[in-house]
Amino acid sequence: MEAEKSSEDDDGPLIRVSLLEEALGIERIYVDYEGRNPTGTHKDRIARAHVEKALNEGYSAITVGTCGNYGVSIAYYARLYGLKAFVFVPAGYTLERAGEMKALGAEVIPWSGTYEETVTESRRFALASGIYDANPGSHPEVDYAGYSSIAREILLEVRPDAVFVPIGNGTTLAGIWHGFRGRASPRMVGVTTSFGNQILRTFYGDPSGEVAESQFNEPLVSEVSFDLNEAIKAVMESNGYVFGFADDTAARCAELLRITTGLLVLPASALTLAGLVKFVRKFGFRKGNFVLVLTGGVHGGESTGAYGGALSYNGWKNGARTRAVLQKV
């Protein structure tokens, strides 16, 4: 894989999903599809910012601990700007994108431990080697500035009443709220796995619970969420909410989004749709603008023709099947 300077992560339009509006009885539903970014996920927004900061501060190398997408993003931008990337990964994870990291010139270092332990080891490596630390929590101001751009882009088109964001460490949700603060006040709704996320447990006041990792929920499992406090603050300040779901719901939502919009969405991020369904059922809000933040899958944005073909022929011509699948969410 060759890294090239690209404009694919420039501002892009929201996608309005009329079939889901009809099926859910909601006035307006929009998708912010982060799969249009060069490596197919929202992680590109902060990876680029970290690599540029490392370069400006005179570093020649950068490191991060990751379970997948963030490592590809760091590898991509490190190659683009001429830095060496060291990516630590949990040895027991699925690691479907490890090959991409290597193809982009990153040194991939498997670590025997949890995701949190892998991040800790990457931090130790950064300190011992004198290289830039791009790990979650190391430079939160960079992360929040990067993800604030999502809020600014949404506001170019609509004034949202609620925004649904997948949460692992909570960094994305916190960053998007930073972007809205002072400009708009949508309800920030976090969605995550039911099986091992500290933000979910904190929101419900339950410090303990079962942890079960799978190929679907790996991006969301977070026994120690590095941006716990900022994420909870964002939810509380915006009068938002947090929902947790099982893997089968993630798979159904990903398939539903594929055949209603033509987008290939990472199942963990597709849970924003489940969050919208639960939110509407719980609070009865159906009027206004609702935005789902979605990210791409294993193969990035390639399958959607760099976003231009996002509204594909795969969409259903009527809402009957849509409604049937939504009843299972």
Q: Which residue is listed with tokens 């849509």?
A: 322
Residues 156 and 229 in one domain: yes
C-alpha to C-alpha distances, 262 to 171, 234, 256, 259, nearest whole angstrom: 27, 31, 9, 5
The whole-angstrom separation of Cα 31 and Cα 150 is: 12
Residue 106's domain spans which residues? 43-133
Residues 120 and 96 in one domain: yes
Residues 156 and 66 in one domain: no
- The CATH number covering residue 312 comes to 3.40.50.1100
Residue after which a domain boundary falls, among 75, 100, 133: 133
Edge-to-edge strand ranges of the sheet holding 28-33: 15-16, 28-33, 289-294, 162-166, 187-193, 241-245
Residue after which a domain boundary falls, among 68, 99, 133: 133
Amino acid 68: pLDDT: 83
Query: How many folded domains does the chain comprise?
Result: 2
Q: Is residue 239 part of a domain?
A: yes
Q: Is residue 188 part of a domain?
A: yes
- For 267-282, write each residue's pLDDT tens digit: 999 999 999 999 999 9
Q: Would you tell me the crossing angle of helices 69-81 and 43-56 to the nearest 10 degrees?
A: 40
Q: Is residue 10 part of a domain?
A: no
* pLDDT tops 70 at residue 226: yes
Backbone angles phi, psi at 238, to 5 degrees: -95, 5
Residues 115 and 33 in one domain: no
The whole-angstrom separation of Cα 183 and Cα 159 is: 9
Residues in the chain: 329
Q: Is residue 3 part of a domain?
A: no
Residues 89 and 29 in one domain: no
Pick from 66, 300, 278: which is nearest to 191 by CA?
278
- For 57-109, write each residue's pLDDT tens digit: 999 999 999 888 899 999 999 999 999 999 999 888 777 788 899 999 999 99
- For 114-162, write each residue's pLDDT tens digit: 888 999 999 999 999 999 999 999 999 999 999 999 999 999 999 999 9
Residues 297 and 186 in one domain: yes
